[in-house]
Chain A
Amino acid sequence: MLYVQGANGAGKTTLLKIISGVLRADSGEVLWNGLNIHESLEDYRSIMAYINHQQAQKDELSVLENLEITLSISGIFEQKALLQDALNLVGLSQYHLRPFRTLSQGQKRRLSMARLVVDKTRPLWILDEPFNALDKAGIHLLEGFMQSHIDAGGMVVLTSHLEPNFSQKSLKVLRLNQ
């Protein structure tokens, strides 16, 4: 787990965009298994999940539809029951038919978490400020997901203002300065 910290504007988001391949670095390159990610961008994209601070969900669609569409566009096709399980897990079980716009900020954030629950087969998670707008229980839940992802051999790159609350053995903290 790479835990990126830094002041506003230090370049945390930019770093994550470079790692996820949205942005090309001015110099240097990002390697995955020794290969530049831009050489086989499509392969790289099917092994990583990038969630930035924007919601990337549509107001007009229901919670379940949003989850299904986000996943299928990223190449994951699952049964509705499994998606419903994921919603239950993040505490949105009652809301699956509600339009996305009726959710609170924290609930919207939880929907992004539900995506990760289903997405756990992807080794690399890249999360930009995942704890924003979450309540204590939500933060705790998300930390749990990340820990079990790490324990299962996955990788997480994230940015946050919070102090890391993970087992030290797999944690690396990167502090960005000017």
Chain B
Amino acid sequence: MNLYKFSSPKVFYPLAGSIFKYTLLPSIFFLVVGLYISFFLAPTDFQQGEAYRIIFIHVPAAWMSMIIYMAMAFWNIVGFSLKSKLSFMMSRALAPTGAIFTFIALITGAFWGRPMWGAWWVWDARLTSELILLFLYIGYIALVMSFDDSKRGERVGAIYSIVSVINVPIIYFSVIWWNTLHQGASVSFNKAPSMAAMIVEGMLVMMLAFWTYSIAVVMLRIRRIIVEYQEEMLLMNHTTEG
């Protein structure tokens, strides 16, 4: 089978439509199962009580936010090395969804932190990295949008995404180092309570739900990007005639 065939936006357009159809229902299914596990099967935690149930969305959302940013950088590297338009579009389609998961991870982190530590926000490595990640997403999206020529915007954004993805682990470790320096609040998400198998399963199912949801919505968005691209080309040909 020739995979290159799908790297053309026009060919990919109908494929994106069918991927959307085949991921939307599974995502709803996983969501229902995930919610059922998080509220009915997972036991109450001895230390944190019921508030810990927030991690069933917090942790998968945080994973998604990181994975999507890495996936964007991956597609952009593919885009530059194979000179494929579609890869850059893929990255652009991923960005808003990644930003939303980052936002969710931050909000749920605050809602978890408030009853657990008595503070809405602590400057621990993971929350801080999530915050910076949100800034990076916003930077990428704003950068791409600042160009009228979407092809150029995607490429310029790609450079930013590749450079800044290296920055995420650096920030993560520098905040850890920074916190050891202050010897301050040493509470962190790393000290998770004894994780029952059911809790891990719940998070994994939620993760699957978020994955399939992301694929579905990204496929939808890439269809819009492809249509917009076609419109842009038409418009350009039109203005040059006049």
Contact = CB atoms under 8 A, between A and B. Distances in A.
A125 B237 CA distance: 30
Contacts of A11: 240
A100 B130 CA distance: 51
A10 B241 CA distance: 8
Contacts of B237: 178
A34 interface: no
B239 interface: yes
B114 to A, nearest CB: 54
A9 interface: yes
B208 to A, nearest CB: 40
Interface string B228-242: 000000000101110
A10 B240 CA distance: 7
B4 to A, nearest CB: 15
A24 to B, nearest CB: 9
Interface residues of A, number: 5
A8 B239 CA distance: 10
Interface in B201-242: 237, 239-241
B219 to A, nearest CB: 26
B80 to A, nearest CB: 12
A10 B239 CA distance: 10
Nearest to B241: A178
Interface in A1-19: 8-11
Contacts of B240: 8-11, 178
Nearest to A7: B240
A40 B10 CA distance: 35
Nearest to B236: A9
Contacts of B241: 9, 178
Interface in A60-94: none
A11 B241 CA distance: 11
A22 to B, nearest CB: 14
Interface string B146-173: 0000000000000000000000000000
A178 B240 CA distance: 8
A11 B237 CA distance: 11
A9 B238 CA distance: 10
Contacts of A10: 240
Contacts of A9: 239-241
A149 to B, nearest CB: 32
A178 to B, nearest CB: 6
9 contacts: A8-B240, A9-B239, A9-B240, A9-B241, A10-B240, A11-B240, A178-B237, A178-B240, A178-B241
Given A8-B240, A9-B240, A10-B240, 6 more contacts: A9-B239, A9-B241, A11-B240, A178-B237, A178-B240, A178-B241
Interface of A: 8-11, 178
Interface of B: 237, 239-241
